[in-house]
């Protein structure tokens, strides 16, 4: 049975979400104090986290930043904030999806089940540690091959290393400086080469913001899952 962590300081809302999931056979655990979460996720395994943003003890975005390196499961933000800038911030710090309060019960359930299925498929495929799998992209670190569905992509060595670094850090906003120093090395060429290779990679992936999003004035982020 899938195990979902619900983090929301509003008891009524968290219990409602738990009831919605229970009716679909999905087990959940409710935490109303976000300060308890960092230690909890080290001890207990969850398949997905539903995370409220506006909490007095610790905001959802701050909590996400604290636990993103600990957990590698989908994180869906639930918030009364509906502005685009709020959603962008959620994605930039490691969130996978965003639901606005008051939410539609069916939409919530569909998003949860969709991310659970996607996460399960990824785990089942990646039985060998040499693979990085996100959506329809499969990167084989040993053979230096990348497939998009059934199509093998022809990438340069540098494009392959760039894609591997982005996929390995999927869900995390990476600065252009971080990418440059890791993929090229601080003594190599010009940092402008990052943007050039990102564009080339996007062209070969037929990206259209499906995989790589630009964080203006900062860098780039590889999405952990399609926005559904």
Q: What is the CATH number of the domain that holds 92?
A: 3.40.50.2300
Say how far apart CA 113 and CA 118 lie, in whole Å. 9
Q: Are residues 7 and 105 in the same domain?
A: yes
Say how far apart CA 202 and CA 34 lie, in whole Å. 37
Asked whether the predicted pLDDT for residue 69 surpasses 80, the reply is no
Q: Are residues 161 and 105 in the same domain?
A: no
115 preceded by cis ω (within 30°)? no
How many structural domains are present in the chain? Answer: 2
pLDDT of residue 142: 81
Q: Is 107 exposed, middle or buried (0-12, 13-18, 19+ CB in 10 A)?
A: exposed
Mean pLDDT score, 58-75? 87
User: What's 144's DSSP letter?
Assistant: T
Half-sphere exposure of 46 (CA within 13 A, CB side): 30
Q: Which of 38-47, 65-74, 84-93, 169-178 is the least confident region? A: 84-93
Asked if residue 227 is part of any domain, the answer here is no
Structure tokens at 29: 């655990």
Asked whether the predicted pLDDT for residue 222 surpasses 70, the reply is yes
pTM metric for this prediction? 0.57
Q: Are residues 104 and 12 in the same domain?
A: yes
Q: Are residues 89 and 19 in the same domain?
A: yes
Q: Is 34 exposed, middle or buried (0-12, 13-18, 19+ CB in 10 A)?
A: buried
Q: Strand 174-175 and strand 212-215: pairing?
A: unpaired
pLDDT of residue 13: 93
Q: Residue for token digits 């569909």? A: 110
Q: Are residues 171 and 64 in the same domain?
A: no
Strand partners, 152: 147
Under 8 Å between Cβ of 81 and 53: yes
Q: Are residues 53 and 100 in the same domain?
A: yes
Residues in CB range of 107: below 8 A, 6 or more apart: 99
Asked whether the predicted pLDDT for residue 189 surpasses 50, the reply is yes
Closest CA to 50 of 112, 94, 123, 1: 112
Q: Which of 149-153, 174-178, 188-192, 198-202 is the least confident region? A: 188-192
Q: Which of 108, 125, 142 is the last residue of a domain?
A: 125
Asked if residue 228 is part of any domain, the answer here is no
pLDDT of residue 171: 84
Mean pLDDT score, 99-120? 86
Domain range for 95: 3-125
């Amino acid at each position: 049975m899938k195990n979902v962590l619900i983090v929301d300081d509003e008891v009524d809302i968290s219990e409602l979400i738990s009831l919605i999931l229970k009716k679909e056979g999905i087990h959940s655990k409710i935490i109303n104090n976000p300060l308890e979460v960092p230690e909890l996720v080290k001890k207990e395994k969850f398949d997905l986290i539903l995370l409220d943003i506006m909490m007095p003890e610790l905001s959802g975005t701050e909590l996400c930043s604290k636990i993103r390196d600990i957990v590698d499961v989908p994180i869906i933000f639930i918030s009364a904030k509906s502005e685009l800038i709020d959603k962008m911030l959620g994605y930039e710090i490691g969130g996978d999806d965003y639901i606005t309060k008051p939410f539609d019960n069916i939409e919530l359930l569909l998003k949860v089940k969709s991310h659970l299925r996607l996460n399960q498929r990824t785990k089942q495929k990646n039985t060998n540690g040499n693979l990085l799998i996100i959506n329809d992209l499969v990167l084989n670190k040993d053979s230096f091959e990348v497939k998009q569905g059934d199509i093998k992509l022809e990438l340069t060595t540098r494009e392959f290393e760039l894609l591997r670094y982005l996929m390995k850090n999927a869900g995390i906003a990476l600065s252009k400086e971080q990418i440059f120093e890791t993929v090229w090395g601080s003594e190599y060429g010009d940092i402008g080469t990052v943007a050039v290779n990102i564009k080339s990679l996007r062209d070969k992936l037929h990206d259209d913001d499906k995989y790589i999003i630009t964080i203006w004035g900062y860098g780039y982020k590889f999405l952990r899952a399609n926005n559904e």
